[in-house]
Structure 1
């Protein structure tokens, strides 16, 4: 079976067209944004809406990084339960962060509606599924706190989870009705379209090779020309390179792979019948969802290993058989992986790297809503706002201890997990 050279299934199926726009002349602007993903394009859209000149420079194509490769779950909050976020960030700022990101899916969906972004939006929530009794206890703790905060979440019994998921493999689940699913490439391309219409300049295929301060401005050098800007936002997250020394070493990169079946039609009518996206409580978590054309997309931490009928496809086939024994054999259409920027405490960061130079980074696998929200927050800051109004306190960069060793260790563990669960 031939696999196409596209980045992901989402690139194949996105209704929003790609935006291709080479840079042909030097640019002078208010804000330069490096990176054409959720964060960078949200920054551009909101900065342009604030009346600022903005220029986005994307080294490859719109959505090339995690934005075009992720699972497409528009989740509320962070990877950690709300009470743990407050414990890490501080009671006052943590509570504010939880509140802001709790509203994140609603804000993403409001942008999709406002700009008529074609991205297969569903509003039926997402399910955090308990892989064990201990996982269900964790979900119970999360549910109690979210309900205390007034969030529309439901703790699902084993039977209720089975009904929602179509599988008896789980010990229960947590349904978050604020959340939903999208085609992430459709969403990021829609943000680019909206930002361009608002007046932002967007250039693709442009790598920034040097970033220097000149008097009260920043100069970004590329092979296609220069950009002079009052402020700069580095919006590269897990795909950060060496442009700013030390930034790449502030997180641990891990891969997350996905495998998509061919469209399965009525065969999957009883699997996630309301089309919620799902991820589990396992240490090496996995994800599952249905797309608009009734493909099943299953994924886990790690890289794609092997092509057609390779290890990752065997893993996917084995997991689908375990979860849905009545489904029968399936054919696979596409496999891919992307990178996640993991921080030691699972909390993202907003760094001020220098005067007028900011980077939101370290989404820990929660890029869609936080990336959109953080992009808006940075755009509002650069329009004259106050750092105290950002969702997180501004910090300097700290190096992640033994980053390379951790990344290599995780990759080995994830590969072993695929192998063991393919048998």
Structure 2
């Protein structure tokens, strides 16, 4: 088993050949960050006739946009009523409506721009791992159905046929959702943005922003860009001290382990519709298969830095629990991505200064939320209307004790996984 990101290796979309920013330039909007949010913003701005330059610190993709599970899910991780309880009736229903329709927006972009990313549109499955989990799914089902969402509860044999395990008796199927290769989707957005006229530059980290008259000047190691408006789309990979986004999330992580491709004769009954799935455990496990038939398992926490035998043991335990019919598997690769968490489990949209907009706190829903936020930012920057954003742009208090929160989460995740390895947790 090697430490490398499967999605980068298997992406049908080639990595774009881009050069670092050099010299000094002017434009209408500068976008900092070449992930899904930044590229969606740049693409929608260019389609509206706005001149855009996007800079990325490394390659496209490098961060979470190319390292996540690849689930195209509707809504946030917390259920609709909890969103309203957290945000209030007006903002909560706004978020529920816009993010409920987010998968359709992703699939429409894929179709319109011919993005080759192994997309499936057969729904995703939330798996009840015990009786308490079944109660949680029933609660979510009622909330979704009150809002007219196309979801259904699969039980017993119908559940077994869709998932491929006898360990799960109930599963919530959301027909709005699907899966994709996230690195390929991100690269496809980059190709579409360039075709629309966006100037993209990699290996061009923003080293600072300063006011220059009515404009902002964004500095990079070899050049600079002057523009009246700036979008900061660095999210969980924000590290620079000048960047206020770093004050509005605490870092979490998600690791994945992928098997070698499995023949259909052996594994064809496991997620035969190629849905993505995750369970209701305290520290969830995600399950999906890729276009080449690999079994992918994942969970919250860091895999990088942990011994490979430890990760292999964890993957063996989860696989044997859910899919003992597969026997002993060979695990091909493992990788870790970073997540921007917020205490309220919802995203934050804000203006660090006049003419600058920023976002963070996707809490693990970056594929769909980033796509929607990019479209909403483009509308806001061109018309002043924020109605296409999942939440209004407003001020937020900086998160305190971020390092303690991150360390606490990570310690809890590691303890849980160790319990699974030692068979203390089933």
TM-score scaled by length of structure 1: 0.96
Aligned ranges 1:336-415 → 2 under 5 Å:
336-387=335-386, 390-415=389-414
Q: Say if 2:255 is the partner of 1:253.
A: no
How big is the shift at 1:240?
1.0
What per-residue deviation string (whole Å, max 9, x for no partner) do you get for residues 272-325 of structure 1? Answer: 011100011112111010000000000001111567852111100111011111
How big is the shift at 1:160?
2.5
Equivalent pair of 1:260/1:333 in contact (CA under 8 Å): yes
Between the aligned partners of 1:389 and 1:290, the Cα distance in structure 2 is 33
How big is the shift at 1:246?
4.3
Q: Say if 2:186 is the partner of 1:188.
A: yes
Q: Which among 122, 125, 145 is matched to residue 123 of structure 2?
A: 125
Match of 1:94, SS state, is helix
Equivalent pair of 2:121/2:178 in contact (CA under 8 Å): yes
Equivalent pair of 2:245/2:358 in contact (CA under 8 Å): no
Q: Which among 160, 174, 177 is matched to residue 175 of structure 2?
A: 177
Q: Say if 2:202 is the partner of 1:212.
A: no
What per-residue deviation string (whole Å, max 9, x for no partner) do you get for residues 140-183 of structure 1? Answer: 11111111111110012243322211012124111000000000
Between the aligned partners of 2:400 and 2:245, the Cα distance in structure 1 is 13
Match of 1:383, SS state, is helix
Find the counterpart in structure 1 of residue 320 from structure 2: 321
Equivalent pair of 1:257/1:338 in contact (CA under 8 Å): yes
Between the aligned partners of 2:167 and 2:125, the Cα distance in structure 1 is 14
How big is the shift at 1:210?
0.8
Match of 1:335, SS state, is strand
Aligned ranges 1:278-317 → 2 under 5 Å:
278-304=277-303, 309-317=308-316
Name the stretch that deviates more: 396-405 or 56-65.
Answer: 396-405
Q: Say if 2:423 is the partner of 1:420.
A: no
How big is the shift at 1:413?
1.6
Between the aligned partners of 2:13 and 2:154, the Cα distance in structure 1 is 35
Q: Which among 100, 103, 108 is matched to residue 101 of structure 2?
A: 103
Equivalent pair of 1:76/1:101 in contact (CA under 8 Å): yes
What per-residue deviation string (whole Å, max 9, x for no partner) do you get for residues 241-269 of structure 1? Answer: 22535431321211100000000112110
Between the aligned partners of 1:278 and 1:214, the Cα distance in structure 2 is 49
Find the counterpart in structure 2 of residue 39 from structure 1: 37
Between the aligned partners of 1:256 and 1:162, the Cα distance in structure 2 is 27
Find the counterpart in structure 2 of residue 26 from structure 1: 24
Match of 1:336, SS state, is strand
Q: Say if 2:20 is the partner of 1:9.
A: no
Equivalent pair of 1:237/1:362 in contact (CA under 8 Å): yes
How big is the shift at 1:401?
2.4
Between the aligned partners of 2:308 and 2:105, the Cα distance in structure 1 is 40
Match of 2:28, SS state, is strand
Match of 2:23, SS state, is coil
Q: Which runs of 5+ in 1 are unaligned?
A: none
Match of 2:90, SS state, is helix
Between the aligned partners of 1:307 and 1:89, the Cα distance in structure 2 is 37
Find the counterpart in structure 2 of residue 231 from structure 1: 229
Between the aligned partners of 1:13 and 1:67, the Cα distance in structure 2 is 15
4+ long deviations beyond 6 Å: none
What per-residue deviation string (whole Å, max 9, x for no partner) do you get for residues 165-218 of structure 1? Answer: 101212411100000000000000000000000000110010111111211111
Equivalent pair of 1:287/1:298 in contact (CA under 8 Å): yes
Specify whether residues 195 and 280 from structure 1 end up closer, same or farther in structure 2 by C-alpha distance, changes over 3 A only.
same
RMSD value, Cα: 1.5
Match of 1:395, SS state, is coil
Between the aligned partners of 1:313 and 1:67, the Cα distance in structure 2 is 25
Equivalent pair of 1:211/1:243 in contact (CA under 8 Å): no
Between the aligned partners of 1:366 and 1:141, the Cα distance in structure 2 is 21
Q: Which runs of 5+ in 2 are unaligned?
A: none
